[in-house]
Amino acid sequence: MIFSHKYAGDFVAFIAGFLYTLAFAPFDYAYLVFIALSMLFASWQRVTPVRAMLRGYLFGLSAFGLGVSWVYVSIHDFGHASVMNSSAMTAVFVGFWAMFPALAGYLCAKFAQSNRVLLMPVLWLLVDYLRGVWVLDGFPWLLAGYSQLDTPLAGYIPIFGVYGTGFIVALSAALMLGVVWRKALVLLMLWAVGSYLHTVQWTQPSGVPLHVALIQGNITQDKKWLPENKLNTLRLYKTLTEQHWGVNIIVWPETSIPAYLSEVEAFFLMPLHQAAQQHHTDLIVSLPIKNEASGEKYNAVMTLGSHVSDYRKQHLLPFGEILPWQPLSGFVLQQLGIKLGNFTAGGDNQPLLSAGGYSFITSICYEDVFGNHAIRGLENAAYLINVTNDGWFGNSIEPHQHAQMARMRALETGRFLLRSTNTGLTAIVAPNGKLIQQLPLFEVGVLQGEITPMTGLTPYARLGDKPVLMFLVGLLVVGWLTTFRKSTQ
């Protein structure tokens, strides 16, 4: 078999990584994910665990090398590191995350050879869960489930979330290996059920439509925090807002106000608050908040109009807002001349913000890639709001990937999503995960539309990821017990 040949199998695994990433935005060749995982799983058959680990690593290098190439843009173009240092840090980043497909390969070759169709998908997803939730507080980029937002398998997303759907993707890929009629029947049933589930309405409208306006200021990252640009930035957002007084909700993007709350509260925010009240509009802005007594800094969202309240970001970005692995990481970045933020996480039990007469789930930037964040308190929330700033990544594939992941939260929760970004892609997403409207990248604009408050909970919103995780662990135990019985007979 060609996949078991030493170098041919290595090459196949490496190419499979590229194909895997092409299944995600902005390429969106969704069905390539099945071919890529089938190629990878095939390359792990009848080889030593060490060889399978190497092939998993090669897969990871190509998948993440293409899929997170935007890291270089952030470090070099906006972190102002040299080409050499930016390349080195990007290579380390890619090499680190490539270890997870390598781990999956080792485990599959070691423990799944006699029950490949069942155990390979299970081990793949458990390693993905480890990467997406636990390591460095989670890096859930390029999870297989995200590629299926526009395929029949999207019907599973409101039930099982991104990880459960990812398992069905991996199982489909495993069933494609050496297809016989029984495997083909199971595969057909999986897809037929998914297609039917996509027609089920898990949530219901709970009020009249709300008129909304999402502002995209398009302030480039290299100019955003320059002191001489602060007043012009505030003037731009204020002018665009005044043109849309009277709508129910206006949303500004992440840190649209490039100053601490204490610096702008009196002369800028309070007059805005009073104007919002007069026009019966709720305004949602974003800015950093600093506790002068303790020196703690928070990345925050603030509501003005009917209520004045704030939400402080809970899930901070590693190596962007916090520095894990201290003091090593701080020392390395200092030597490279790269300065990053040092923020404090907000509390876990913050009350929901409200606008337009309804409470909503707030996520700031990176928080919207975590499904468990969007379902906390969802029973009391009518819609989702995400504010973000992908200006750090320029004209790379990252804004498209991030927007794809945000769409998943709308489908998982059965809620409309309002997503206001600095440089794009600002969007309104329906409860079925479909884009209703979207602004292009790198344009100043205001996206106007309507959303409907929703009530009810999807199965995923009720239960989260734990049932899927328990199911996978159960399958793992069953698979190993079956293998053990066969080996002792």
Active-site annotation, residues: 254, 313, 365
Q: What phi-psi label fits residue 35: left (phi over 0), alpha (psi between -120 and 50 degrees) or beta?
A: alpha
Q: What is the spatial distance between Cα 478 and Cα 138, in angstroms, rounded to a whole number?
A: 28
Q: What is the DSSP letter of 247?
A: B
Residue 380 near residue 352, CB atoms below 8 Å = yes
Q: What phi-psi label fits residue 350: left (phi over 0), alpha (psi between -120 and 50 degrees) or beta?
A: beta
Q: Taking the chain, what is the end-to-end CA distance rounded to the nearest angstrom? A: 28
Q: What is the spatial distance between Cα 123 and Cα 193, in angstroms, rounded to a whole number?
A: 24
Q: What is the spatial distance between Cα 466 and Cα 470, in angstroms, rounded to a whole number?
A: 6
Residue 248 near residue 356, CB atoms below 8 Å = yes
Question: Could you identify the residue written with the tokens 């059920």?
Answer: 193
DSSP 103-155: HHHHHHHHH-TTSHHHHHHHHHHHHHHIIIIIGGG---TT-GGGGGTTSGGGG
Q: What phi-psi label fits residue 359: left (phi over 0), alpha (psi between -120 and 50 degrees) or beta?
A: beta
Instruction: Tell me if residue 44 falls in helix, strand or coil.
Output: coil
